[in-house]
Amino acid sequence: MILFRLTLLATIFVSGTAFAQTREPFQSEPSGPLLRSNVAGSRQPAGMASEGITAGGIQIQPSLTVKVESDSNVLNRATQKRGSVFVVLAPTINAAGGTEQAGYVIRAQAAVARFASITSQNSETFGIEANGRLAIAKKASIFARIAFDRRNEPRGQAGETITEGSPAEYDQIEAQIAARAETGALRLTASATASKRSYADIKLENGRIEDQQFRASNIVALAAKAEYALPNGGVIFATGTYSNADSPNAPSCCDQSSKGGQFVAGTRTELSKLISAEISAGYVKRDYISSIYKDFGGPIWKAKVDWYPTPLMSLSVSSGRTIVNSGIPTVAGIIVDTTALQLFYEIRRNFDVVFTLARSDENYREIDTNATATLIGLEGRYIFNNRMTGGLFSRLRDRSSTNQLQLSGGSGMEAGLWLRASL
């Protein structure tokens, strides 16, 4: 259920659930919605976990999710809004195996979306990922991961300018290798990540084609991280990253190639028996090859504080800054500041609800334009048994811009239900 809950924030955080997106090395599974796994909103009720299939030491967990949703503004337009009902079928399969010295995880997922009245938005997406770890000494190990995705960018995200035609579809392949060593309370990790992304052209409703090749990118990133375990169970850490991004297919007008790096330091700790926090801050620098784009140097941060006032309730507040690549030819890096609040409440052992309130502030520096996106969401989840889970959800989203000619904006209401069957 973690992956579905994270999609509540997709409009704000412009991420989605693609495999080919950088995660921490040695992190074989996506992070959960809360910093603790045994609290309301993240814990699995006893006896309700999917058992999967065990064959030859391999744990296999297949599932199928069916979602029916109504969206009042599918194309996220400010005017001439068009709504539709649509159905999504999303099969997944996870396989894991190994020993204490070595292990692997393989995951695959797909989604088929069909719209009742706006068939140009029909899509088929998929992704596959494999990762593994190997201990090469008592306190040293190596890690490798490779992933491929075909995904659609969510409507209304930072940088979107085209509000008609087919979705913005991209293919991305990403590979990562890492090494880790520990000595006493100190842990050191070094990694190298390479990714390649290419975009399909957008087919407009009038038959024209919008070329998206300028958005293709090849990125190589090197990172080093030091973590020190504190006596109270907390961790302090520091991370340095260098990246080189190349736009291989961009014309001279729109070459978003860049070089840059960032340094971040922070801590993850328990502030009390009822409060957990992970807070980091640092400096990021990005220089663009083309003189038409503005270089960026400034602060970057990521903060998350969880409060567990009762055994049945969890409250999470988060904030962060990222640089998002743009779909606007005249704009390169978009500075996006996000803030979100989530409230989780367990009504019963197998029935909980989550309320989401989120805001994103976007700065398009080259065209002196700002945009604000907000999201209010409510979801209820019911676990029937260890094989069947379902839920209802509703979301209200809004996106406004100081320059509607350059940047799209609109509001919409979404509501739907979903059912997931697992073995």
Angle at 166 between CA 74 and CA 118, to 5 degrees: 45
Q: SS in 3 state form for the chain?
A: CHHHHHHHHHHHHCCCCCCCCCCCCCCCCCCCCCCCCCCCCCCCCCCCCCCCEEECCEEEEEEEEEEEEEECCCCCCCCCCCCEEEEEEEEEEEEEEECCCEEEEEEEEEEEEEECCCHHHCEEEEEEEEEEEEEEECCEEEEEEEEEEEEECCCCCCCCCCCCCCCCEEEEEEEEEEEEEEECCEEEEEEEEEEEEEECCEECCCCCEECCHHHCEEEEEEEEEEEEECCCCCEEEEEEEEEEEECCCCCHHHCCCEEEEEEEEEEEEEEECCEEEEEEEEEEEEEECCCCCCCEEEEEEEEEEEEEEECCEEEEEEEEEEEEECCCCCCCEEEEEEEEEEEEEEEECCEEEEEEEEEEEEEEHHHCEEEEEEEEEEEEEEEEECCEEEEEEEEEEEEEECCCCCCCCCEEEEEEEEEEEEC
Contact (Cβ atoms closer than 8 angstroms) between residue 293 and residue 326: no
Rama region for 364: left / alpha / beta (φ>0; ψ in -120 to 50; rest): beta
pLDDT of residue 25: 76
pLDDT of the residue at 139: 94
For residues 33 and 13, the answer to whether their CB atoms sit within 8 Å is no
Longest dimension (CA), the chain: 65
CA distance 365 to 382: 45
How far is residue 240's CA from residue 300's CA, in Å, rounded to a whole number?
13
Rg of the Cα atoms in the chain: 22
Closest CA to 279 of 310, 308, 300: 300
Domains of the chain (ranges; CATH) run 2-422 (2.40.160)
**Residue for token pair 């979404």:** 414
CA distances from 42 to 17, 202, 339, 351 (A): 18, 38, 20, 12
Spell out the long-range contacts of 311-315 with Cβ–Cβ below 8 A and sequence spacing 24 or more. Answer: 311/39, 311/40, 312/40, 312/345, 312/346, 313/40, 313/343, 313/344, 313/345, 313/346, 314/34, 314/39, 314/40, 314/41, 314/42, 314/343, 314/344, 315/341, 315/342, 315/343, 315/344
Backbone angles phi, psi at 306, to 5 degrees: -110, 135
Tokens found for residue 401: 């811009």
Mind listing the pLDDT tens digit of every residue in the chain (423 residues)?
Answer: 443 343 444 433 333 356 665 567 776 566 778 999 889 998 888 777 778 899 888 999 999 999 999 999 998 888 889 999 999 999 999 999 999 899 999 999 999 999 999 999 999 999 999 999 999 999 999 999 999 999 998 877 777 766 678 888 999 999 999 999 999 999 999 999 999 999 999 888 788 898 888 889 999 999 999 999 999 889 999 999 999 999 998 888 889 999 999 999 999 999 999 999 999 999 999 999 999 999 999 999 999 999 999 999 999 999 999 998 888 888 988 999 999 999 999 999 899 999 999 999 999 999 999 999 999 999 999 999 999 999 999 999 999 989 877 777 789 999 999 999 998
β-strand partners of 92: 63, 109
Q: Tell me, what's the pLDDT at 83?
A: 95
